[in-house]
Structure 1
């Protein structure tokens, strides 16, 4: 794969943190058996291990989160990983806006793992604490820059109405080029799929961490 300075500089840290997280992610703390018991690197077979090694180099959750069910289907898992890699580290969409789009999907799905993993990344990329906090309460953030408002309205309209109006598309064209519009659409759709994998597998945050969304919250 084509390495880039954006992720290479944090490669060692991500791998170390990911290794720890891989042992921490587990099913909810109930008597119910996990649908997909958390795998460790030592448990991976010959088909899974090459993918596991790639995941460990870049993932903040190790082979936890969506990777835990995904690695059960290693051929599909590899192809999804390649897609994730592009949409996270090689996309044409600026990192702050890309992470914002992921958070929008995570909030729509109330995806505990997506929000837990990506809210800090969005903040690190420059998305304001106020925007993150308002989005977390299921509100349209009130103080967005033009490009942020375009991302919010474009992604929300597409995922909730299943179309993009001419007005919203025209706004997007003023901010993004064609490749960026395609990449923005793809990252939103990709993280719907990730949210589905997480929901199906009942993956959650590490047992010593608080879930971002509490029962009874909208």
Structure 2
């Protein structure tokens, strides 16, 4: 049972309404809006504190739409975090994107349960190994650190932290 009521946009205070409008007018569009106009997923909670919610959603937009990570690398990493955090919402939101990018059901299952996954693309295999190390131990050894360029590594660690934060909020608010 959800703990947080979804507030329709006409019931939001001006600051929360401005954030609502920013989220729904951006690249996410109305994907995260329910039939009554309330925000779903992690975005509903962001309306509780627009001064914190706005930079948080902007960080997510930067990770999703403006980082140097490939779409497949990004979705791979998001689904590793979702599997590690057992975040059903993040899996439900990102598995269709991954399917559209060519991930198979077998690969998605391995990302859900953390089982071994051989990826033919060496760059994707490196993202998988590094992301799994980050969620498992919160650090990298020298070999894992060297597997990616520093910019990609910075963006990937930011992605892991962002989606871990969302998984925590989704769990606490029972989304």
Q: Give the alignment's TM-score, normalised by structure 1.
A: 0.72
Structure (1/2) with the larger helix percentage: 2
Alignment of 1:1-218 (within 5 A): 28=1, 34-57=2-25, 58-59=27-28, 60-62=31-33, 63-172=39-148, 177-203=149-175
Counterpart CA distance in 2 for 1:96 and 1:113 is: 19
Any unmatched runs of 5+ in structure 1?
Answer: 1-27, 29-33, 204-218
Is the CA contact (8 Å cut-off) linking 2:19 and 2:50 kept in structure 1?
yes
Any unmatched runs of 5+ in structure 2?
Answer: 34-38
Is the CA contact (8 Å cut-off) linking 1:131 and 1:144 kept in structure 2?
no
Per-residue CA deviation, residues 85-140 of structure 1 (Å, 9 max, x unaligned), is 10110011111101110110000011010000011112223334431122223312
Counterpart CA distance in 2 for 1:80 and 1:41 is: 19
Q: How many positions carry a matched residue from both structures?
A: 167
| Per-residue deviation, 1:50 | 1.2
Counterpart CA distance in 2 for 1:182 and 1:146 is: 19
Is the CA contact (8 Å cut-off) linking 2:87 and 2:171 kept in structure 1?
yes
SS at match of 2:41: coil
Counterpart CA distance in 1 for 2:65 and 2:6 is: 26
